[in-house]
Amino acid sequence: MTMEKLRNFIKEQNDFKSSDLKSEFVGEENLEVKGVNVILLHDGINEIKQAHNQVVYAVFDQTPFYAEKGGQINDRGTIQWTGGNGIIIDVQPTSDGINIHEIEIQGELKVGDKVDANVDKIKRLLTMKNHTATHLTTAAAYEVLGPSLDHTTSFNDEHGMRKDFAYHRAVTQQELTKIQNLTLKSIRDAIPREIHFTTPDEAINKYHALSFDGDKFDEDTLVRIIRFGNFSCELCAGTHVLNTKDLEDYVITNLESKGNGRFRIKALTSYETVRNHYDNLLDEQNKKLGSLIAKYNGMKNENCNKNIDHVINEIQLIEHNRENIHLFQTQLDELAELIRVLEKEAAKKNEANILQEIKDVKPQLNADGINEIKFEKDNLNITVLRSIGEEFKKNYADLIVILKSQSEEGNFIYVTISESLKGKASAVEILRNQKDIVAKGGGNELAAQGKYEVIK
The domain spans of the chain are 3-118, 124-269, 273-354, 361-454
Cα angle for residues 353, 356, 357 (degrees, 5° grid): 85
Helix (H) / strand (E) containing 79: strand 77-81
Distance CA 138, CA 140 (A): 5
Distance CA 37, CA 62 (A): 7
**pLDDT score recorded for residue 212:** 62
**pLDDT score recorded for residue 128:** 98
Low-confidence ranges of the chain (pLDDT < 70): 1-20, 212-219
The number of beta carbons lying within 10 Å of the beta carbon of residue 368 is 9
Class of domain 3-118: mainly beta
- Long-range CB contacts (within 8 A, 24+) of 446-450: 446/416, 446/417, 446/419, 446/422, 447/386, 447/389, 447/414, 447/415, 447/416, 447/417, 448/414, 448/415, 448/416, 449/382, 449/385, 449/386, 449/412, 449/413, 449/414, 449/415, 450/412, 450/413
Q: Which residues pair with 162 in a beta bridge?
A: 155, 266
pTM (whole model) above 0.75 = yes
**pLDDT score recorded for residue 12:** 61
Query: What does the pLDDT look like over 220-256, one tens digit per residue?
Result: 788 999 999 999 999 999 999 999 999 999 999 999 9
CATH architecture of 124-269: 2-Layer Sandwich (3.30)
DSSP 1: -
DSSP 246: G
What sign for the dihedral angle of Cα 157, 233, 69, 164? negative
User: If one looks up domain 361-454 in CATH, what number appears?
Assistant: 3.10.310.40
Distance CA 285, CA 288 (A): 5
